[in-house]
Amino acid sequence: MSKSLPYSVKDVHYDNAKFRHRSFFKVITQTLFTSDMKRECVSYSTGKFLGLFMIFGLACLILTHASKTPSATDGLSKGLETNEEHKVVTDVGVRFKKLLRRAPRLPPRLSGNEKVSSGIFTGKPNEHDEEKWKARQRNVKEAFIHAWSGYKKSAMGYDELLPLSMQGFDGLGGLGATVVDSLDTAMIMGLEEVVSEAGSWIESNLLERISQKGDVNLFETTIRVLGGLLSAYHLSGGDQDMNLANTGPKPTIYLEIAKNLADRLLSAFTSSPTPIPYSDVLLKNSSAHPAHNLLSSTSEVSTLQLEFNYLSAISGDPKYKTEGMKVFAHFKTLPKVEGLVPIYISPHSGEFIGQEIRLGSRGDSYYEYLIKVRLQLRSIQDGNFTYLYDMYEEAMRGVRHLLVQKTVPNELVFVGELPGGSKGSFSPKMDHLVCFLPGTLALGATKGITKEKAMKDNLLTIEDFENLKLAEDLAKTCFEMYSVTSTGLAPEIAYFHTKDFYEDGLGGGNQSSEYVNDIIIKFNDRHNLLRPETVESLFVLYRITQDPKYREWGWQIFQSFEKYTKVDSGGYTSLNDVTTLPPQRRDKMETFFLGETLKYLYLLFGDSSVIPLDKFVFNTEAHPFPIKDAIYLEGGSFMMKGTM
């Protein structure tokens, strides 16, 4: 167990323990053969021994007398009367065994917070609770319809909606990103009209757009557009084991468009002199080039593999998986700081550039995809992908050792940054993006099954328990980043009061918050972009721990979105400052609000059997892909055996 954890894990040992019944013989022999007892028995005289024997006999008589007290069932059966003497002897033996048996091992006494965070909630919700969460899930569905209606009315076919000015905006290459990003959310919600509208637009327009458009970012296009198409393919029945769409195009339409797009995106890999792809692709002529600073973001080049792997699986063409997995194979060879990596890498040299380490922007989803890709490929027999899990475990140990600290005065756990690498000073800064980490830690610990089942089957290591504890502590901090503000919505970036850092007068505005002196929000960081990372982690933690507090936290966040970001004419908007009332609005609805934020809230409030975490893996844009039982055949082709 790591000695560097900044919080108590005294309950870890109990969680792994089992109650083991000791036999009467074992209790006697263990007691008699301890060194202290042997010394005492040797020192006893015969007189003392006889005295103890008499006391023992007297105790037996008392117990025998007590056992003869009539019961309510005496005389109901003559058979019982004839066996009375045997019953007395048996009762005496049982009572004597109870006297000698050691007390069972009890869990340690926990504080109030620990009782909540370490508990396992096995009881089924009552009928009232089920109706409450169904109603709240309907509220989320209505929010999605409101967001989609605003987009359809003012920005259909554009990447994003500007809800205040009621117009569209192409900020992601002009591929209609909101349409594709929203489609599988509508399928999951059972919104057939939206599925039909979005599907029809994709079938009629997207292939032409792909063939005519210019520069797009490899990462953003892969996770939003390619990921959305692949998820829509599966959810509409493409794998013949699930169909949530009764309207819209045939699944093969989504697959053919996905292949066309991916073939063009592959130029980012094939044009680079190293396994690290270029960051930008010119779609119309399938060429690629590096960013203006000649660098690629670490997270961007390592957050393509789920999508390319799944496309290879369903198309039968291994080229997508081959190119994507070269990146991780290369990362395996590079030097790291306790498993942590800098946020920039050169596609020309294949080496990391700079020393800045963080789990926020440009670093975040590298760690997320280490564990998710390993889960996706765990059933493939062609090669050894365990190195992904080894890299993930090493990185999480590095996080606990180098990046985790606690606030002053209330000891919130947070993940900071190392601006100068391992030799640089620690920064108590945490992006909202880091709030993906609680869900990733929980997923890595149980592999998607509930904590209760994982413990019952003895599947959790001590390190898994450490990561689960850290996940719950970080989720608490992420939620408090919301509750500490006047609007109940989190800022884009927060700093934390530590023994080495504090800035006065930069609170969140909610003076009733217990953590108003722990969280610092600088003026340039007070905006909110409708981000999904916190509700994503609440969804995963609820599924894994079954703790209802994560649902309640999610409901509070949703209510704040409804109160302060909803635009009457349609859509939802980002905010400029979450610490003031009324908040100034920013006039932009990101695609991920429909593709991620509302999807995770809907799933959080719904039945856990829908898109189960042990059978699906979500890409970083919340598009679910099935985990397949697959055999990778010689020559590079796949043979699918169905879902796990």
Active site residues: 220, 364, 492, 533
Q: What is the C-alpha separation between 164 and 155, in angstroms, rounded?
A: 12
Q: What token pair was written down for 414?
A: 């947070």
CA distances to 144, 340, 364 from 358, in Å: 33, 8, 7
Q: What is the C-alpha separation between 591 and 301, in angstroms, rounded?
A: 21
Long-range Cβ contact pairs of 497-503 (< 8 A, separation 24 or more): 497/407, 497/408, 497/409, 497/428, 498/405, 498/406, 498/407, 498/408, 498/428, 499/408, 500/426, 500/428, 501/428, 502/408
Name which of 506, 375, 370, 358 is nearest 420 in CA terms. Answer: 358
| Residues 173 and 216: beta-carbon distance below 8 Å | yes
Q: What token pair was written down for 505?
A: 């007068």
Q: What token pair was written down for 379?
A: 């059933």
Residues flagged as binding site for Ca(2+): 620
Name which of 477, 584, 592, 581 is nearest 529 in CA terms. Answer: 592
| Residues 431 and 360: beta-carbon distance below 8 Å | yes
Residues flagged as binding site: 620
Q: Whole-angstrom distance between the N-terminal and C-terminal Cα of the chain? A: 32
What is the residue-wise DSSP string for 255-293? HHHHHHHHHHHTHHHHTSSSSSPPSEEEGGGTEEE--TT
What is the residue-wise DSSP string for 317-334? -THHHHHHHHHHHHHHHS
Buried b (16+ CB within 10 A) or exposed e, 544-577: bbbbebbbebbbebbebbeebbbbeebbbbbbeb
3-state secondary structure 546-589: CCCHHHHHHHHHHHHHHHHCECCCCCECCECCCCCCCCCECCCE
